[in-house]
Structure 1
């Protein structure tokens, strides 16, 4: 794909993924110049800032995550990310399907009210646990570490998810419609009809609810679906067509802008990394 970079523009920018078990994705990165476009992981995004400061947009507000702080993101929330300090920021994350959190914790309804937790000792413990999870290849040890990790986050978690706002209920069918039609060219009129509103009234209400336009939401959902397909080993060209992108080059640009790696590199990382825990852990 001529003209499409295989790495970040800045040589110090680096991001790596691993998928050691179903419903579990590990991530570590040092980001200096790259600015992540709105994206979603559709999973709990939990982690720790090791150095530097991250600025990210989440749920309609800007947040700063300084060194030795926790990052606490709920599923399905679009967010951005960029460095607030000249040297960038270094951090580790784990993305956990809600079903995994429920199975490991034994509790339903985990939810985080604050996006950043200012808890330096706990953040350092979380960082150490995430590093051990990255390198652990024994299924029993992996599950034990995951249990210990969620115990660290328990203090910051609520156990009753707040009731969805009226707007979320109204626009849930629209989001479902977007998910079901990722490969199509959708129109504002079409989405507004699903919501039962006039087109630009719908756009204004949708943006107020999700802090993103329908197009931004659609692209975030497309790239998340691309991520799942790449992790299953599907060819990038096939993935691009399945999620409604123009071609493989379009997929590469859009994927790198949101996740910090090219589709090819992401696929190598999550399918080729040693992971004996896969399919045997989280029993």
Structure 2
């Protein structure tokens, strides 16, 4: 497991990132105030949740607002940004699941017809305590 901590020279922006060398799964826990990040995408599937504050972001040409306990689901290639619309910012945690790992895990489930399926989520935000 590799670790990284970045504060960007600000006390209202911080992040802690870890990567599992065996699976390639990365975890990120971060806090941002105001502007968090510009539009970007990932090759991985993202599954996370808002821990504290209000997180607002564009994804799939829609504006999403996540609050504590709400799960965030973003598929590979989905362009998204992020900002904190309220004072105090937001804290969130995210898992970055590499597509090869997801494909291997899906094959282990042995579900007929699953081969060749493009990873996608039905919703970007989900209120599911078991998932968060």
For the aligned pair, the TM-score class normalised by the smaller chain equals 0.7 to 0.9
The CA deviation string for residues 166-193 of structure 1, in whole angstroms up to 9 with x for no partner, is: xxxxxxxxxxxxxxxxxxxxxxxxxxxx
Alignment match of 2:123 (pick from 114, 121, 140): 114
Greater relative CO, 1 or 2 (CA 8 Å, sep 6+): 2
Change (3 A) 1:25 1:73: same
| Structure with more strand by fraction | 2
Offset of 1:57 from its aligned partner?
0.8
- Provide TM-score, normalisation by structure 2: 0.79
Could you list the structure 1 runs, at least 4 aligned residues long, displaced by more than 4 angstroms after superposition.
none
The CA deviation string for residues 44-89 of structure 1, in whole angstroms up to 9 with x for no partner, is: 0110111111101111111111110000000011110111221111
Unaligned 5+ segments in structure 2 are 1-5
Alpha-carbon distance between aligned partners in 1 of 2:34 and 2:93, rounded to the nearest angstrom? 17
Offset of 1:105 from its aligned partner?
3.4
Rg larger for: 1
Aligned CA RMSD, in angstroms, stands at 1.9
| Structure with more helix by fraction | 1
1:8 aligns with 2:8: yes
Alpha-carbon distance between aligned partners in 2 of 1:46 and 1:101, rounded to the nearest angstrom? 12
Unaligned 5+ segments in structure 1 are 1-5, 127-283
Offset of 1:9 from its aligned partner?
5.7
The number of equivalent residue pairs is 118
- Provide TM-score, normalisation by structure 1: 0.39
